[in-house]
Amino acid sequence: MSKPLQAIRGMNDILPDQTPLWRYFEKTVAELLDSYGYRQIRMPIVEFTELFKRSIGEVTDIVEKEMYTFADRNGDSLTLRPEGTASCVRAVLEHSLAGGGQVQKLWYQGPMFRHERPQKGRYRQFHQIGVEAFNLPGPDVDAELIVLTWRLWKKLGISEHVTLELNSLGTAAARAVYREALVAYLNTRYEQLDEDSQRRVQSNPLRVLDSKVPSTQALLTDAPQLEDYLDEASRVHFAGLRARLDAAGVPYVINPRLVRGLDYYSETVFEWVTDQLGAQGTVCAGGRYDGLVEQMGGRATPGVGFAMGIERLILMLETLGQVPEELSRQVDVYFCAFGEASELAALTLAEQLRDTQPNLRLQVNAGAGSFKSQFKKADKSGALYALILGENELAEKTVALKPLRTDAEQVTVAWDALSEHLQSCLAQEPLLNQ
């Protein structure tokens, strides 16, 4: 017997009952980003493998272990994008979007791919919304990105359950000096490090600071501190960021071991973390990458950005009970019609209602059926009202309007007054797509 067809492990279907919450979240973020002057860009999900090796770093876990890489028919090595910044920078370079110092404030959304061990909040195909700003070197734009995420958490009702962690990685030159001191320290304790940290001592020692192994974290207590190696410009930049966050009333904590997992970060790094999702505590993270555009073949161009994991934030909304009640219903009004002549009239009336009320979710019964069966479908749809058109109503050119979620009386409405009356009834109700 053949094996049943099913989705690849860690790549999940988002079912119709789940998509209203996804659309609500995505719409909330898109409207917020629009209000801050960010414009959407859409990149392909497949890129040349070299793009990610050059940008993320060949000795990162993503490039070494997690990328979905394959050869196409031309023999080119291609990779499903594991993150969005590299693709966005490539697009900015390819189309000269930031040439001549032009400021670009961009955002994108879509699936990313990493071959990880699937678990709650961590998947092999996952979805992100990312934001990138170019040619803005000061701490003001770093602060703007953080402030707008803080505003988003408040809009979603989760601000009390997230914490902002901040750090500064300084310039590449400052990190190089710190790296030497850190490697010297780690080498004296090499045998006590966990296996992953031993591997990273030479390849990417700053990632040792981010180790989740308790014994390794204990060894780092007396390790050299990155803040002691920061250059003066980095100190000023970080102080400027903190001053702006203080002015905006955004709470934060300084985490001197926050380094992020991608090689291209410099100066500011930050993470929004929560204790509501178990081990997968980061819901949004980013920072400054002033050397990345130059590293990828362009002119020196300041850059800063972040990405948020949609699955984790959706899970957080569900966990905290912050899913708007109106998302549970599929439609606002369900139209029941009995007999072919009534069905034809219902079709015409429904289209007239859609003309006058573009935001209305109106479903016309399909497949005929008895009064009982149609009302059962109307109730299951979650509609607030049912419209009823039978032989008597057809003859009198009226429609019965029956509230489905309250004890209010059923009323009869003339066809030419239906749109206005229905609009009045729904005025106090939050429609799904407003």
pLDDT in tens, 2-32: 789 999 999 999 999 999 999 999 999 999 9
**How far is residue 167's CA from residue 159's CA, in Å, rounded to a whole number?**
20
* Residue 355, Cβ density class (10 Å: 0-12 exposed, 13-18 middle, ≥19 buried): exposed
Percent residues over pLDDT 90 in the chain = 66
**How far is residue 235's CA from residue 246's CA, in Å, rounded to a whole number?**
16
Q: Which pairing describes strands 282-288 and 266-273: parallel, antiparallel, or unpaired? A: antiparallel
pLDDT of residue 432: 47
CATH number of the domain located at residue range(s) 329-426 in this protein? 3.40.50.800
The answer to whether residue 150 scores a pLDDT higher than 60 is yes
pLDDT of residue 434: 44
pTM of the model: 0.87
Nearest one of 345, 352, 340, 261 to 307, comparing CA atoms: 261
**What residues contact 267, with CB distance under 8 A and at least 6 apart?**
142, 168, 169, 170, 171, 234, 237, 238, 287, 288, 290
> What is the band of 325 on the pLDDT scale with cuts at 50, 70, 90?
confident
pLDDT of residue 382: 87
The answer to whether residue 431 scores a pLDDT higher than 70 is no
Domain boundaries along the sequence of the chain? 19-171+231-319, 329-426
pLDDT of residue 196: 82
**What residues contact 99, with CB distance under 8 A and at least 6 apart?**
299
Q: Which residue(s) pair with 335 in the sheet?
A: 364, 387
- Terminal CA-CA length for the chain: 49
Residue type, 146: I
pLDDT of residue 256: 86
Q: Which residue(s) pair with 321 in the sheet?
A: none
> What is the band of 318 on the pLDDT scale with cuts at 50, 70, 90?
very high
**How far is residue 245's CA from residue 243's CA, in Å, rounded to a whole number?**
6
**How far is residue 299's CA from residue 296's CA, in Å, rounded to a whole number?**
9
Over the range 29-44, which residues count as b (16 or more CB within 10 Å of their CB) and which as e? beebbeeeebeebebe
User: What's the pLDDT tens digit per position in 190-205?
Assistant: 888 888 888 888 777 8
Q: Which pairing describes strands 303-309 and 282-288: parallel, antiparallel, or unpaired? A: antiparallel
Give the sheet arrangement for strand 104-113, strand by strand: 39-40, 104-113, 125-134, 303-309, 282-288, 266-273, 163-168, 253-254
pLDDT of residue 261: 60
**How far is residue 2's CA from residue 426's CA, in Å, rounded to a whole number?**
51
Mean confidence (pLDDT) of the chain:
91
Task: Decide which of 3.40.50.720, 3.40.50.10860, 3.40.190.10, 3.30.930.10 is the CATH code for 19-171+231-319.
Answer: 3.30.930.10
**What residues contact 81, with CB distance under 8 A and at least 6 apart?**
43, 44, 45, 46, 47, 52, 87, 112, 113
User: What's the pLDDT tens digit per position in 262-315?
Assistant: 667 888 999 999 998 877 689 999 999 998 999 899 999 999 999 999 999 999
> What is the band of 133 on the pLDDT scale with cuts at 50, 70, 90?
very high
The answer to whether residue 260 scores a pLDDT higher than 90 is no
User: What's the pLDDT tens digit per position in 334-374?
Assistant: 999 999 999 999 999 999 999 999 989 999 999 988 989 99
Q: Do residues 19 and 259 touch, judged by C-beta distance below 8 A? A: no
User: What's the pLDDT tens digit per position in 109-129?
Assistant: 999 999 988 887 789 999 999
Nearest one of 334, 408, 344, 407 to 374, comparing CA atoms: 334
Structure tokens at 182: 């850190």
| Distances 160 to 164, 203, 262, 318, 322 between C-alpha atoms, Å | 11, 38, 28, 15, 12
Place of tokens 């003066």: 232
The answer to whether residue 377 scores a pLDDT higher than 80 is yes
User: What's the pLDDT tens digit per position in 218-236?
Assistant: 888 888 888 888 999 999 9
pLDDT of residue 174: 85
Segment 135-140 mean pLDDT: 96
Q: Per mean pLDDT, which of 114-118, 144-148, 381-385 is the most reliable?
A: 144-148
Greatest C-alpha distance within the chain: 93
| Distances 290 to 163, 305, 433 between C-alpha atoms, Å | 25, 11, 39
